[in-house]
Amino acid sequence: MSLSHTTGFPNWRWFEPDYKLRIHFEPGERYSYSGEGMTFLQIVLEKLTGKRLEQLMQEHIFGPYGMKTSSYTWQARFETDYAVGHRADGTVYPKDKDNAARAPSTLETTTEDYTRFMEAVLRGDGLSQASWNEIFSPQVRIRFRTQFGPGATEETSANDAIELSYGLGRGLLRTPYGWGAFKEGHGDGFQHYSIVFPDKDLGVLLMSNSDNAESIFGHLLALTIADTYTPLEWEGYIPYDRRPVHSN
């Protein structure tokens, strides 16, 4: 349920008025993205294995996949080569240099390393065929207007044609290319998106250090791989030419 975001948890407990974690619906009932759910999954894995998240990732993902510049904790070697996030007005956010690994939010990586990860997942490296199939199989249909905000509880049929769903750790949509598996990243000053089409061995990775980046993601997807199927409204990717203009 944590990987398919059907736990019933909010995204983060501090979104609650009293900062207490609550279950908002019957677990398994519907999709609702939850960083809390991913954090609890991390805690369970660490308890079962007796290893910290960073060690698990180095042993099972970063090492085998050749991701030499990736880590869930800040490393001294990053000090000479890192990106800083930018606000919409171009000013710079302070750089977070996390010492505590958090599965949903502290990954430091590069376009080269994450591309290696995407390619390894497409090949099924380190996965049984059954596990690979499960990752790319819909676990829950999504019938809400947006992923976050008030629209996250407003039912719609707008995405029925692409059978918008969530698998294990990735969103899924049906296209003429076959199933597409996508994952976003939203953070202060950093906005990312990736999508792969296993049936075609095709994919694209968009990584940015700007709060403005999502406004061009739709154009980039259409231009690079003719992806006009990613649900831009559900993602909250308002194109730059449709954004309201603010004047001083």
Question: What are the structural domains of the chain?
Answer: 1-50 (no CATH), 69-242 (3.40.710.10)
Confidence (pLDDT) at 39: 97
Residue 213 neighbours by CB under 8 Å, 6+ apart: 191, 206
SS3 content of the chain, % helix, strand, coil (to 5): 30, 15, 50
Which among 166, 198, 199 is positioned nearest to 184, based on CA atoms?
166
pTM of the model: 0.93
Please compute the mean of the pLDDT values over residues 42-64 and round it to a whole number.
Answer: 98
Residue 58 neighbours by CB under 8 Å, 6+ apart: 71
What is the amino acid identity at position 213? A
Please compute the mean of the pLDDT values over residues 38-64 and round it to a whole number.
Answer: 98
Sheet of 190-197, strands arranged across: 140-141, 165-166, 171-175, 178-187, 190-197, 202-208
Q: Is the pLDDT of residue 26 over 80?
A: yes
- Radius of gyration (Cα) for the chain, nearest Å? 18
Confidence (pLDDT) at 246: 56
Please, are residues 148 and 236 in contact by the beta-carbon 8 Å criterion?
Answer: yes
| Chain CA centroid to CA 32, Å | 13
Confidence (pLDDT) at 164: 98
What is the amino acid identity at position 161? A
Please, are residues 192 and 184 in contact by the beta-carbon 8 Å criterion?
Answer: yes
The band of 243, judged by pLDDT with boundaries at 50, 70 and 90, is: confident
Q: How far, CA to CA in Å, does 136 sit from each of 8, 131, 133, 172, 184?
A: 22, 9, 5, 7, 16
Mean per-residue pLDDT over the chain, rounded: 95
**3 state SS of 33:** coil
Q: From CA 184, how far away is CA 18, in angstroms rounded?
A: 28
Task: Summarize pLDDT for 110-151 with one digit per residue, the tens.
Answer: 999 999 999 999 999 999 999 999 999 999 999 999 999 999
Task: Summarize pLDDT for 204-241 with one digit per residue, the tens.
Answer: 999 999 999 999 999 999 999 999 999 999 999 999 88
Confidence (pLDDT) at 245: 61
Confidence (pLDDT) at 89: 96
